Structures are given as structure tokens and as C-alpha cells.
A = this chain, B = another copy of it.
Amino acid sequence: MVDTASKSGSERTTRSDRSQYIAQTGPIDVDAPPAAVDVALLGRTLLGTWADIRLASRELVKDPALQRIEGLSLEEHRTRVLGQLRLLVQNGQVHRAFPEALGGGNDHGGNIASFEELVTADPSLQIKSGVQWGLFGAAVLHLGTQRHHEKYLPGIMSLEVPGAFAMTEIGHGSDVASIATTATYDPQTQEFVINTPFRAAWKEFLGNAGKDGIACTLFAQLITNGVNHGVHCFYVPIRDAATGEFLPGVGGIDDGLKGGLNGIDNGRLHFDHVRIPRENLLNRYGDVAADGTYSSPIASPGRRFFTMLGTLVQGRVSLDGAATIGAELALTIAITYGNQRRQFTAASDTDEEVLLDYQRHQRRLIPRLATTYAQVFAHDQLLRKFDEVFSGAGDSDEDRQDLETLAAALKPLSTWHALDTLQEAREACGGAGFITENRLVSLRADLDVYVTFEGDNNVLLQLVAKRLLTDYSKKFAKADAGALARYVVAQAADRAYHGSGLRRLAQTVADFGSTARSVGQLRDPQTQRELLTDRVETMISEVATRLRNANKLSKEKAAELFNSQQNELIEAARAHGELLQWEAFTEALDGIHDAGTKQVLTWVRDLFGLGLIEKHVAWHIIHGRLSPQRAQAVSAYIDRLVARLRPHAQSLVDAFGYEQEHLRSTIATGIEAERQNEAREYYRQLRASGDAPIDEKTLRKKQGK
């Protein structure tokens, strides 16, 4: 299937004769070369490392039983999604990440890939299964030991035991270390006493806590022999499975309606001196002996805490993928519709313009398409890194830290991009975009919370920034002013992108004034790389310089100084994440061998890269990296790239590979083209009949008025 730059509709159009409106869209007047995208080949590339598993998951969710029904009440939606989880169990799709001994597949990357695709069925289904198997189950798997696996995982895997992941409290979300729930060991009875000391310590926003959960993995401060050993995780039954009533000492309330994801029963939990057996401590990283003696394989409490939390990174990894799918769906719908919908005549007296032929419409959708492509490639790298760490193929401390930083850098960008793209797509479809049957509004509502859960995006970017600062300061601690120059030379061999990990701050600070001489050079990936890399490095280096005396200040003054750099640091982390996406895109181009596809995708990559440069072009000018004249060339070249990509827009969304069963959007079925054809035919026949009324305007012209 090769699309030779015709402005064709989706190949999967089922409700219209595609050839009808291909013929009517006519030629366009941009300098589109005869490059062509091999949609099938590109589609396979986009599916990434776990292509077959993704395809199987997409097949699975074609079953209407797994799909969202709009307009259900809260209770109906919850009931439906719980039933859908049972269907997933029956299908055996969701057990990939669990141990082979228990019937699982021990396939961590494939598990996430499969799980992400559920978002096309219903984001509530995706997130509820994420709560059950990716959080509640994963906590038992990664924080528990053999005895917990054998005792709890079978019930969790089979959904006999629906459970909540009770970490967040009303008073502490991002700052997990400060949660206030306590688990105090009582050596007399060899039990932990779980207690919620005040309202701010109620566990909050927990999926499965509102109604379905009969147990939870609860995070609490472990106290034994008068010492608080910090946050640990416990397996705590909360409801009687038979009656659905809370167990003695446990209470809670239902969070009720949310902005989206209403198929999930979020709720609050609190505990009044609830006693659980000592063995319910998930003791992989910390244990308490019968006499109350605490032990841990990790001596440092700080490192122990981060190690425990680090095992739960898969939530962030999977949101990066699911958000990218959300953006793909949005663009497939809006570009398919924008490629058929016509409004206003401009170039002729009779034919109205296709929306996607308007420059503004192109500017609204095509750069977002480029960003989505970058995210697809970056996400596959993230998923491979995740699989390496969790399969044990590469799970050193550094690997784990790189994985966490990579996830913390990419998840914010992709989740924000999904909301931005869903909204722009909804607006680009006008009133039709606001109608639920066209899908965009519900998807946006459901994906809204992705930007603040599993790590608030702004907080995650700060984590990335701190890592960048740490890497920087490790090199330059107590170094003199000349250290930077030596560092640059010493690390010259380290310039290649570490595909599966974190991009190192190891590039030269070049004089781009002398290299970015023309538009031609903006196309050079090395120019793009240097501009993007230099911005990250310079921002970090500038902040580091401003912070260099912080350790000489009082804690209060140091905090104030750090706070004055917070915004800049977060922007630096964002720039770092964008660079990672750009590098992943560039690396992916190497794997594409079809000439036409490679040409078009190179334009897409250039559009992404130059779009990032344009967004911060003032920075590049102010810092002397681009002259004002060259900065103007960036925007001019972006205009050309957008126009050049316009004829390929449909192929580029078709390559995402979604079928009508995944899109479920009336305006993406071809119905708009059908209606237009009907209208044209009506007018054609009217003109032919001689009965057409004459326009007053025309008449007045004839009459010389």
C-alpha cells in the first residue's frame, strides 16, 4: 500500500466510496516532491519492538464488550469495567508480567505494550487494570517475597481479590516520604497495627477503594522498637469479600464523580488501629523479626525508599505509551475529517476548500503530528530500557536510575501533548468535535488526570532537573573555571546517543553562529542536535553557576535561592526530554530503508526539531546561537515543511494503523465526504435542470447595479 501523495482519506474508510473524494480533492500547489510513504511498512515500524503483542491487543479490543459505552451512569460504568477486567483475565492477556511459576509470562516490556493498547477500548479499562495488576499486583510482586507471591498473586491475577494501591494520602501526594499512616509493630502479638492518625492521612484517590477492593497494598511508616524506619508496604485486607462491607477498623468514602475515568471506583480509606500479621509486611527491602528487630538489605534509609518506589516505575512508562496512543487517535480523527471537510470558497467559485488546505489548519495539526511521531519512537526506547531493567538483562543501579529519569522526562511531555492534541483536534473539528459520538471529548476527559497522577508532571520534571544538576556537579565539584573546557574535550567520545538510557551532558558548546549559515544547514541533523543539546547544557550550567554557593547559605536562604531557579530548572528538564525525543526519532530514521518513507519522515523529524528551536528561538538569539536573520529562516523553513508534509498527512496518520473499531468516531468514517458528494450531485442536477434560481448578486451585476 503506497500512497503517492494523493490527499486520500483513510484506507479504512468504510462508510464511503473512497475513490469518490480522492478524485475531488484535486491537486495542490506546494512543492511536494514525488516522495511517497509506504504506509504498511511505516506502520510496522511504528508498532515498535513488541509489534505482534500490540497487534494482538488491538485485535482483542475490537470486541465491543471491551469498549466504552458513552452515557452510562457512574455505577453502570464501574460495573461494566469490572466485568471487562474479568474478560481480560479469561483472555489471559494481562498476566505477562507475573512469574512463570504462577502462570505468568515474565515478559515485562510485552506486558506494558499490550496494556497500553487498552486505552483505545476505554481509558477506564486501561487504568483499572493498571491499578489491579500494575500497582496492587506489582507491589506484591516487586516489594514482596516468595511467600507473598504464592499466597497473594494467584488471587490478584484471577481478580478474585480486587485491590487498591494505598500510597497517596490527602495530605501527601507527590511527597510520599511524608505520608502519615503508621504501621507499628507489636511484638506481643507479632502484629503490625495500622493507624490513620488524622484526616490528612486518609489514603485518597485510590482506584478500587471506592467499592470493589477487598485488600490493598498499603504504604505506611514502619515503626518498631521506637524507631521509624520509613515508608514500607503492607498487604492489608479491607473488605469482607462476601458482603463487600469494610472490615472492623477500616473505613472510607467513595470519591464519586471525577472529570473522567468514571469506570474506576476511586475512594478514600482510613484505618483505626487495624491489626495485621507480621508476615503481611512486603519484606523484600526491609523486614521485622518476631522480636521486633528491623533488618534491610539496603543500609541507607533514603536509598531503600527510592529503591522501593523505583520498582513501581512501570506506571509512568505505560502512561507515556498510552498518552501517545491518545494523540495518535486524536490526529487520525482530526486529519481524516480535515482532509474531507470543506468550508468557504477561495480559489474557485464553486468548490469549497478542504480544511487541511488552509495554512492555519495545517499549522494546527501537522506540527503536533511530528511531535507524536517523536514520542512513538522515544516511547519504544523507554520500553526497551524498562524491559532490560525488569528482565534483569541490564539492571545495575545506574540502569535503574537512567530508567527512572527517562520515564520522568518523557511521561510529562507525552501526557501534556496528548491533552493539547486532543483539544486542538476537538477544536479543529468544530462543533462536531464537541459531540461525544466523535470521541475526542471523552478521550480528553479521561486522559486529563494522566498529567498529575503517577507523578505530577511538574514534580517529575524537577526530578529530571535535579539529576541533570547532579550529573553536572559531579563533574565540576570544586573544579576551577577551566574544568568545563577540559570536560568537553575529555567526553568527546561520549557524544553518541545512549539509545536505551539517558542522554549525557557531554557535548561541546559550539559556536552555532558559524555553522547554521542557511536554511540548508537547518536541515542538517547535526545542526539541530547541537542547538537542542546546547540549550539544555547551557541552561543547566547557568543554573548550576547561580546555585554554586548554596551550600554556604542557611537552609532557608538556600531553599530561597533554589526556588528562584525552579522555573528555569523545569524548563531545562523539558528541553532535555524534547532532546531525547528528537534523538530517538533521528535514530529511528536509520532503521527506515524505503526511500520515499525515509524522505517524508526526515521532513517530519526536521519539523519536530525546528519546531523545538522555533519555540525557544529567543533563547537561541539571546545566547548568540542564532542570528536574528537565521532565526527568521527557521520559521520560514517550518512553513515550507508544513506545506510539503500536507499531502502526506493522511498517510502519516493511516500508518498509526487504527481501524474503525479503535477510532469509533463518526466523523472519521467518511460520512462527511459522502454528504458533500450528495450536495454536489444535487447542485449539479439543479444546474442541469435549468431550474436553479439566479443569485441576486449576479442579477444586479447583469443589471449594472
Q: Is the CB of B70 within 8 A of A73?
A: no
Q: Which residues of B contact A458 (CB under 8 A)?
A: 360
Interchain CA distance A260-B223 in the complex, whole Å = 48
Interchain CA distance A674-B547 in the complex, whole Å = 36
**From B173, B174, B227, contact of A693 by CB (8 A):** B227
Of A204, A449, A639, most buried by chain B (CB within 10 Å of CB) is A449
Q: Which residue of B lies closest to A560 (CB)?
A: B29
Q: Which residues of B contact A151 (CB under 8 A)?
A: none
Q: Is the CB of B433 within 8 A of A562?
A: no
* Interface-located stretch among A8-16, A468-476, A506-514, A675-683: A675-683
Asked if A660 is at the interface of the complex by the 8 Å CB criterion, the answer is no
Instruction: Kindly identify, within residues 516 to 546 of chain A, every residue whose CB is under 8 Å from any CB belonging to chain B.
Output: none
Q: B-facing mask of A106-129, CB < 8 A → 1, else 0?
A: 000000000000000000000000
Q: Is the CB of B427 within 8 A of A452?
A: yes
**From B345, B451, B621, B694, contact of A228 by CB (8 A):** B694
Q: Which residues of B contact A693 (CB under 8 A)?
A: 184, 221, 223, 226-228
Q: Which residues of B contact A197 (CB under 8 A)?
A: 679, 682
**From B168, B256, B423, contact of A419 by CB (8 A):** B423
**From B256, B440, B624, B678, contact of A71 by CB (8 A):** B256
Q: How far is the CB of A127 from chain B (nearest CB, A)?
A: 12
Asked if A600 is at the interface of the complex by the 8 Å CB criterion, the answer is no
Q: Is the CB of B566 within 8 A of A676?
A: no
Asked if A159 is at the interface of the complex by the 8 Å CB criterion, the answer is no
With A301-B697, A441-B445, A621-B628 given, is the CB distance from A347 to B434 under 8 Å?
Answer: no
Q: Is the CB of B343 within 8 A of A172?
A: yes
Interchain CA distance A679-B198 in the complex, whole Å = 6
Asked if A170 is at the interface of the complex by the 8 Å CB criterion, the answer is yes
Q: Which residues of B contact A419 (CB under 8 A)?
A: 423
Q: Is the CB of A682 within 8 A of B258?
A: no
With A347-B560, A360-B458, A559-B346 given, is the CB distance from A441 to B431 under 8 Å?
Answer: no
**Total identical chains:** 2
Interchain CA distance A257-B363 in the complex, whole Å = 30
Interchain CA distance A201-B678 in the complex, whole Å = 10
**From B226, B431, B435, B632, contact of A694 by CB (8 A):** B226
* Interface-located stretch among A351-359, A389-397, A580-588: A351-359
Q: How far is the CB of A206 from chain B (nearest CB, A)?
A: 10
Q: Which residues of B contact A621 (CB under 8 A)?
A: 618, 621-622, 628
Q: B-facing mask of A222-233, CB < 8 A → 1, else 0?
A: 010011111000
Q: How far is the CB of A7 from chain B (nearest CB, A)?
A: 15
Q: Which residues of B contact A566 (CB under 8 A)?
A: 358-360
Contact-size category for A: 35 or more
Interchain CA distance A241-B435 in the complex, whole Å = 27
Asked if A478 is at the interface of the complex by the 8 Å CB criterion, the answer is no
Q: B-facing mask of A439-474, CB < 8 A → 1, else 0?
A: 011101100110111001110000000000000000
Q: Which residues of B contact A345 (CB under 8 A)?
A: 178
**From B434, B457, B556, contact of A448 by CB (8 A):** B434
Instruction: Kindly identify, within residues 278 to 336 of chain A, every residue whose CB is under 8 Å from any CB belonging to chain B.
Output: 294, 299, 301-302
With A618-B631, A621-B621 given, is the CB distance from A676 to B435 under 8 Å?
Answer: no
Interchain CA distance A70-B556 in the complex, whole Å = 44
Interchain CA distance A427-B205 in the complex, whole Å = 15
Q: Is the CB of A696 within 8 A of B228?
A: yes
Asked if A52 is at the interface of the complex by the 8 Å CB criterion, the answer is no
Q: Is the CB of A567 within 8 A of B431?
A: no
With A175-B343, A622-B632 given, is the CB distance from A696 to B433 under 8 Å?
Answer: no
Asked if A65 is at the interface of the complex by the 8 Å CB criterion, the answer is no
Instruction: Kindly identify, within residues 63 to 88 of chain A, every residue whose CB is under 8 Å from any CB belonging to chain B.
Output: 70-71, 73-74
Q: Which residues of B contact A252 (CB under 8 A)?
A: none
Q: Is the CB of B360 within 8 A of A436?
A: no
Q: Which residues of B contact A205 (CB under 8 A)?
A: 431, 435
Interchain CA distance A257-B478 in the complex, whole Å = 63
Q: Is the CB of B301 within 8 A of A675?
A: no
Interchain CA distance A676-B434 in the complex, whole Å = 40
Q: Which residue of B lies closest to A461 (CB)?
A: B360
Q: Is the CB of B344 within 8 A of A430?
A: no
Q: Is the CB of A676 within 8 A of B171?
A: yes
Q: Is the CB of B618 within 8 A of A198?
A: no
Q: Is the CB of B359 within 8 A of A567?
A: yes
Interchain CA distance A438-B307 in the complex, whole Å = 34
Q: Is the CB of B200 within 8 A of A679?
A: yes
Q: Which residues of B contact A168 (CB under 8 A)?
A: 431
Q: Is the CB of B170 within 8 A of A697?
A: no
Interchain CA distance A363-B427 in the complex, whole Å = 27
A-B contact pairs, 27 of them (CB 8 A): A71-B73, A71-B257, A73-B73, A168-B431, A171-B676, A173-B343, A199-B675, A205-B431, A226-B693, A226-B694, A228-B694, A230-B695, A256-B437, A257-B437, A258-B434, A260-B434, A346-B559, A353-B559, A359-B566, A359-B567, A363-B567, A427-B456, A427-B457, A430-B456, A441-B445, A617-B618, A622-B631
Besides the known contacts A198-B682, A301-B700, A353-B559, 16 further A-B residue pairs in the complex with CB atoms under 8 A apart: A168-B431, A173-B430, A200-B678, A227-B699, A230-B695, A259-B436, A259-B442, A346-B563, A358-B563, A359-B567, A360-B458, A360-B567, A430-B452, A431-B449, A564-B639, A618-B618
